[in-house]
Amino acid sequence: MKKIIVLGLLLMPVLALAQEAKPAANDPAERNKMLYSLGFLLGDNLKKQLILDNEDDYKAVSQGMRDSLLNKAAQTDVESYKPQIIQKYQDDARLISEKREAAQKEYVENFKKEKGVKELDNGALMKLSKPGKGKAPKADGSATVHYTGTLIDGTQFDSSRERGQAFTTRLTDVIPCWTKALQQMKPGSRAKVVCPADTAYGNRPVGPIPPNSVLVFDIEVIEVK
């Protein structure tokens, strides 16, 4: 069971792509590129869950995966190492979480120091790049916007601009960060909005957004209703 759980964690982002999957190409070269990409995705996810410190670590993990995929006999008593594997996942998850939390705190503190940044009463931060004209929406009003949302490292998780369709919403139906920020924005205005986790999704994972994530939005208000 533990082996299945660990494997499931490793494969989750790959399985999430299944809905977008395209038929496999018959061209051997294209198949090779697809399999390489699969390996890259598995490796990318693995490094998000485990701390591998050096080339020897990479070689050991790679050799173990290779032997398993080729149905070769294991070079160790795998069962006896399962408790250490589980412990490593737990220890590394804690360290990765602490490092990520420190990076997010640093990002927020640095953004606060930028000229023109305004801290809202719920802790959200915003910096207008275009002021706009007219009236800003009220707390129970609606707005039509274009936006792009990223994590602090620039990883994009959503964009109305890429979809080519503006987003219309009531301010009561969005995350608290947006509810407060949009009340500061007039039609035509554009702002960078930084949302601490407790003004966004808190400790809930949402799609590609990990729990306890600081979110960064580039928001442009098109219309206020």
Strand, helix or coil for residue 119: strand
Q: What is the pLDDT of residues 188-206, one digit of tens each?
A: 999 999 999 999 999 998 9
Q: What percent of the chain has pLDDT over 90?
A: 74
111 classed as catalytic: no
Q: What's the confidence (pLDDT) of residue 16?
A: 52
Q: What is the pLDDT of residues 10-27, one digit of tens each?
A: 444 544 554 455 555 678
Nearest to 143 by CA among 116, 169, 175: 169
The catalytic residue among 58, 89, 107, 157 is 157
Q: Taking the chain, what is the end-to-end CA distance rounded to the nearest angstrom?
A: 53
In the structure, how many helices (H) and strands (E) does the chain have? Answer: 6, 7
89 classed as catalytic: no
Q: Which domains are assigned to the chain?
A: 2-75 (no CATH), 116-224 (3.10.50.40)
Q: What is the pTM of this model?
A: 0.77
53 classed as catalytic: no
